[in-house]
A and B are shown apart, each in its own frame.
Chain A
Amino acid sequence: MSTYILRRLIQTCIVIVILSYVCFYLMTLMPGDPVDMMISSNPKITAADVTRLRSLYGLDQPAYVRYGHWVSDIVKGDLGYSRTYRVPVTELIGPRLTSTFILSLTALGFSLLIAIPLGIFSALRPGTKTDYIVNFFSFAGISIPSFWLGIVCIIVFAVWLPLLPAGGTQTVGAQNMGFWADVLDRAKYLVLPVLSLSLQQIGRFVRFTRSAMLEALRHDFIRTAKAKGLPRQVIIWRHAFRNALIPLITILALSISSVFSGAIITETVFAYQGVGKLTYDSIVGNDFNVAMVSFIISVAMVLLMNLVADLLYGVADPRISYK
């Protein structure tokens, strides 16, 4: 098992290095660089300014040389400097990563809390009115565009019924109002983005849970368990649900891996200080250091969560072993 994990971790590192170079190189191919952005916003920038700035930023060097510099800085623990915000990347990305983590994980947790019981409930009553209603709302949740839902949430809960803030992460100055006031304040700001993010996820998870459970309930061992007279709850949870877990673990692992990538649309609509919008802006604004760090985090999370999923398969199904 430990050899397997070690092998996978080494593979993960190699994939990260290869993908980071590919990503870096692709970014250099995009039209315009930070100096071009400056020229378009300030026509007074001279040819001498252009040459000086390109040399200062290292933009006059080939991509592989720049990549080499970037890697050597990363190895030294220096994540670089954001040319858009003019601050070190660590200072910029740290708080945003925490905010995104809180938002995405809360939304994911909330979605699972609602979706799994609802999916099981629906699977146990296939073809009934309840099943149709659950399916209807699941498809509705999946189909509603999150930007639209976000705006509707703001209009309803912030403008019409002024119950919740329209956007932001925290009230200005709330952190000085005491610990619990701070907690309550942050929670208030999380409600609408979480709601907007969750509705889609709930729909998706309900569908997956329902179909996985339906599949599991068709197996012969369920019939045997019923024939043996096992209690209904034992059949559902110990036999059916455990077997339905394999596809759910895959979906869950992929969902967790995106927790750090952020939710660009939700973050933008709710002016939530997350890493998703930061990543998007850094790519558009050619802010290499920020974009690369965000990219590495996303890739690493996808790879690590896949590893975790593979390990969990073994826990859910003892027939799966790792050598």
Chain B
Amino acid sequence: MKKQISAVLSALLAVAMLTQCTKNETASTETSAAADRAPAAKNDLVIGISQEFENMNPLIMTMSATSYMYRMVGRTLVTMDANGKWYPQLAKAIPSLENGTAKIVDVGGKKKIVATWEILPNAQWNDGTPITCADFAFALKVAAAPTVSVGEKETFTQVEKIDADPANPKKCTFTYEKAKWDFYALAQFYPLPKHLEESVFNKYSKQKEGYEKNSNYTKNPTMKGLYNGPYVISEVKLGDHVTFTPNAKFYGPQPKIQKIIVKLIPNTGTLEANLRSGTIDMISTLGLSFDEALSFEKKVKAEHLPYVVTFTPSITYEHIDLNLENPILKDLRVRKALLTGLNRQDLMKALFEGKQEAALHSISPKDPWYTEDPKKITLYPYSKRAAGKLLDEAGWKMGADGYRVKDGKKLSLQFMTTAGNKTRELVQVYLQDQYKQLGIEIVTKNEPARVFFGETMKKRKYGAMAMYAWVSSPENNPRSTFHTSSIPTEKNGWSGQNNMAWSNPENDKLLDALDLEFDAKKRVELAHKILKHYTDDVPVLPLYYRSDVSVVPTYLKNYRPTGHQFAETNDVEKWELAGAKLN
């Protein structure tokens, strides 16, 4: 009731302020922009994001913004650093076959892995309860329950069972369902505080989505004991902001910033104004679009603003899928001509001022599997003449109107992407012009992202070319985009992302073998063989690897964007406001 009264009074006051505003123009500037934050914020940081977030149950969350924030409050056994290297977080060390902490066992003719994970002795929940194997086993039990809507279940169910050492509840034996080399990559296998969540699960596990609706993460997200990271959540307002304060029980060094607020500003157009007015101190990688960042960087330089605009090469791969069921694109020579006639270097300079890197294939330079060795993969340097020759060989002859024809049919390709994405639409126009010079007509047809991904791409209804991005992580098996079994069909519920319908039995074998190869060197060789097929068959036109952009104040130190899905908040405790001139 008090809240309602306060809201009504605020409304009246707002009207009063509006009617009096002309008189107030000379009013004190002490009510400065920065004053819209709580007073005397000497050591706080307000981060602006433009993407929505959901409740922070680590098993249920699916949004990037939630994951970005959760890494401030929740840690798990391992994670990946900005260089793409795995390192232990809650675990003492990463188990490996080499040091004997993991071994391959044969159970009934099936190869499995048994690994020993030891949790840090001082790792605890923020109510002081130690984190033990039981918390991981409980997370597995919840994730496996049919009534809980965990998105990618295999993240958890790849572990068959978790046993604790009777003498040490922090020493856990994980038995994995399959013997896969990346068994230790459990960066999304978060523990759940069994002492708080078990009673909820027991009570509601029989109801559809009963657990997630009644979990403490939903009902009482600031409850003590739900988090184990350097920060805890002290306030959540869905759709507005989340406040983080240091966790005194954190196992690592105490964070240096006393309060972090992540504030949602859904309109990217007003992010800059919010930054300049002091409403936010920085814009995270989930904020500005690339073109907005480029434009703001110019202003930073011209006006000597106290910000740094960071462009971090990421593993997000922007590309054009070629529909291999299209009669024109079935011809490999046409696909090769499209790639040879594409001047990617010039595109990067013209549109991105060289701040995004041209792609050779699907694996980014950040990935240990990356190669640009012409002995291992096929490269397609730009050559208009070579592209024209390939098209001539394919029977597409230049017509009088400047377009190529074959059997009386014009060489015309439909090119689709997400409508309203300024960067993609610019690339589309650029390519349309380049291909026109080759005698190829490009007919653009763009759709809202929801229709494009929800219907067109899902059911492979695009005519010839479709531009969008693939997001993955380093050393990721590209099975879901390259394997024949990943071609979306009605039979498999339109799952998988091999939207090109690329089928190469040799490549399928390599993809199957990749998961089971424990020798790192041989694994790289396998990855290169896969890339060889990929660059030979040209099912996709590689465009560029996206850069993650963020804007940080010059006083923020030790901030290191990662460029992959394990966000920079992974080491938020290292961030420092050196000589910060705050309000």
Contacts and interface: CB of A to CB of B under 8 A. Distances in A.
A165 B33 contact: yes
B419 to A, nearest CB: 13
Interface string A47-71: 1111111101100000000000000
A51 B15 contact: no
Interface stretch (A36-44, A234-242, A243-251): A36-44
Interface stretch (B169-177, B396-404, B452-460): B452-460
B136 to A, nearest CB: 20
Interface stretch (B232-240, B349-357, B425-433, B525-533): B232-240
* Contact-size category for B: 35 or more
Contact of A271 (B2, B3, B267, B458): B267
B269 interface: yes
Contact of B52 (A84, A155, A182): A84
Contacts of A161: 25, 29
Interface in A17-48: 30-33, 36-48
B405 to A, nearest CB: 35
Given A166-B274, A168-B36, A271 B264 contact: yes
A102 interface: yes
Given A39-B495, A271-B267, A102 B480 contact: no
Contacts of B7: 98-99, 102, 186
A36 B9 contact: no
A151 B152 contact: no
A186 to B, nearest CB: 3
Interface string B17-44: 1110100110101011110111000000
Given A42-B62, A198-B18, 19 more contacts: A48-B153, A49-B152, A50-B494, A52-B146, A52-B153, A56-B147, A86-B61, A92-B238, A99-B7, A103-B11, A154-B270, A154-B273, A167-B279, A177-B38, A187-B9, A187-B17, A191-B18, A269-B269, A277-B239
Interface of B: 2-4, 6-19, 21, 24-25, 27, 29, 31-34, 36-38, 52, 54-55, 57, 60-62, 64, 146-147, 149, 151-155, 208-209, 212-213, 218, 235, 237-241, 243, 261, 263-267, 269-270, 273-274, 276-279, 450-451, 453-458, 470-472, 480-481, 492-497
B38 A173 contact: yes
Nearest to B276: A159
> DSSP majority for the A interface?
helix
Contact of A171 (B38, B60, B264, B265): B38
| 4 A-B pairs with least C-beta separation | A32-B454, A165-B36, A31-B455, A186-B10
A184 interface: yes
A118 interface: no
Contacts of A41: 62, 64, 471
B15 A163 contact: no
A322 interface: no
Given A40-B453, A45-B495, A163-B31, A53 B270 contact: no
Contacts of B61: 86
> On chain A, which size bracket covers the interface?
35 or more
A222 interface: no
Contact of B240 (A30, A81, A168, A185): A168
B279 A165 contact: yes
A4 interface: no
Nearest to B478: A43
A276 to B, nearest CB: 11
A43 B481 contact: yes
Given A162-B32, A172-B243, A271 B10 contact: no
Nearest to A88: B213
B277 A47 contact: no
A183 B13 CA distance: 8
A175 B240 CA distance: 15
10 contacts: A32-B453, A40-B453, A85-B52, A166-B279, A167-B274, A187-B14, A188-B31, A190-B10, A190-B13, A277-B266
Contacts of B15: 106, 109-110, 113, 194
A273 B239 contact: yes
A50 B269 contact: no
Contacts of A185: 10
Contact of A187 (B13, B29, B266, B458): B13
A49 B495 contact: yes
Scoring B6, B8, B218 by chain A CB atoms within 10 A of each residue's CB, the highest score goes to: B6
B223 to A, nearest CB: 15
A105 interface: yes
A109 B456 CA distance: 46
Given A32-B454, A172-B261, A271-B266, A46 B470 contact: no
Nearest to B16: A187
B218 A182 contact: no
Contacts of A151: 269-270, 273
A179 to B, nearest CB: 6
A278 B269 CA distance: 19
A271 to B, nearest CB: 5
A174 interface: yes
